[in-house]
Amino acid sequence: MEFVHYPVMAKEVKEFLIPINESNPLMVDCTTGEGGHTFMMLNTHPNLTVIGLDCDEHIQEKAKFRMKEFGDRFIPVHTWFDDYFKEYDGPLLDLVLIDLGISIFHYEESNRGFSFKKEEKLDMRLNEKSELTAQMVVNTYKEDDLANIIFKYGEERYSRRIAKAICEARQLNEITSSSELESIIFKSVPQGYKHGRIHPATRTFQALRIEVNHELDRIESTITNAVKSLKVGGRMAVISFHSLEDRIVKWTFKNLEKGCTCPPEAMRCTCGSKPMVKILTKKPIVATDEENKINPPSRSAKLRVIERI
């Protein structure tokens, strides 16, 4: 069975990401996935070209197939988005979109252990050429390091219990599957926590995925470098899905709007940095109730937008 990924907050993205002019605009979709947002933008703006980045070759093939009708207006690039903007030397951009969500493809079709509901190999790599896997993390990291990752990236209050249980289990046999790890986590937490609002393995699996793919480490540098590639009046939209991501996006935007990096106690500015953007969304935009019913992953999404000045 094939699953369809619906682009989150498509209407809001379309309203904010408007090319400066319609003659020959250029956009980078940093996390193309199956191409939902890209398809919408290409369909809306007949002269738009989209450079579609993705670190996962398998999901990029889906996007290529979906975008066939647009010909060379869609340019796929297999890369991490932070690496792309470190070396970007192309024409100035009209628009940049970063959707930090994980596609339903990875949970339902990739067979890489993203979901604790399945019996799959513990992998969790978005780019299968990367070296670090979730199996390596749970079987080789020290107990304290594992607990710290689960607490920091998963905001899991029982991180120490879970890390201890993992380390005890791996002494008997190497932990190799997602369902095996889920069982270890489930047994390690208090009885009252086992039947809460979310499954007790949810936060740990999130933390492992973030660690394996260095997800949070990529956000600030990507935004900062991508802003330099925008035309004056060009816009960037970022969609985040949990507080750790949104916090980084929020403060990166604020720093770019502020410009000056001098300490608060300085009598005058000596750094010479100038504001680069204005924030168009003083508070993050969230999905409507109607969208939440149709597309449940949108419930936790937050959209923030800036404009280059």
Dump pLDDT digits (tens) for 265-303: 776 777 667 899 999 999 999 999 999 988 888 899 999
The mean-pLDDT minimum among 89-98, 138-147, 159-168, 288-297 falls in 288-297
- The first and second tokens of residue 150, run together, are 């689960």
CA 288 – CA 16 distance, rounded (Å): 16
pLDDT tens per residue, range 50-94: 999 999 999 999 999 999 999 999 999 999 999 999 989 999 999
Torsion angle of C-alpha atoms 211, 212, 216, 218, degrees rounded to 10:
150
pLDDT band at 158 (very low <50, low <70, confident <90, very high): very high
The mean-pLDDT minimum among 116-130, 234-248, 262-276 falls in 262-276
Top-tier CATH class for 111-213: mainly alpha
Q: Taking 60 as the threshold, does the pLDDT of residue 3 lie above it?
A: no
State whether residue 198 is helix, strand or coil: coil
CA 260 – CA 204 distance, rounded (Å): 38
CA distances from 178 to 157, 222, 229 (A): 21, 31, 40
* Most confident of the ranges 11-25, 162-176, 183-197: 162-176
Q: Which amino acid is at 288?
A: T
pLDDT band at 5 (very low <50, low <70, confident <90, very high): low
CA 307 – CA 109 distance, rounded (Å): 36
Q: Does residue 127 contact residue 56 with C-beta atoms inside 8 Å?
A: yes
The residue assigned the tokens 């304290």 is 144
- The distance in angstroms from the start CA to the end CA of the chain is 46
Residue 272 has a pLDDT of 67
How much of the chain is helix, strand and coil, in % rounded to 5?
A: 45, 15, 40
Q: Taking 80 as the threshold, does the pLDDT of residue 30 lie above it?
A: yes
Residue 294 has a pLDDT of 87
State whether residue 27 is helix, strand or coil: strand
CA 238 – CA 246 distance, rounded (Å): 9
CATH 3.40.50.150 fits 10-105+216-308, yes or no: yes
CA 164 – CA 292 distance, rounded (Å): 37
Residue 259 has a pLDDT of 75
Q: Does residue 16 contact residue 305 with C-beta atoms inside 8 Å?
A: yes
Tell me the domain boundaries of the chain: 10-105+216-308, 111-213
Same fold, 10-105+216-308 and 111-213: no
pLDDT tens per residue, range 180-239: 999 999 999 999 899 888 899 999 999 999 999 999 999 999 999 999 999 999 999 999
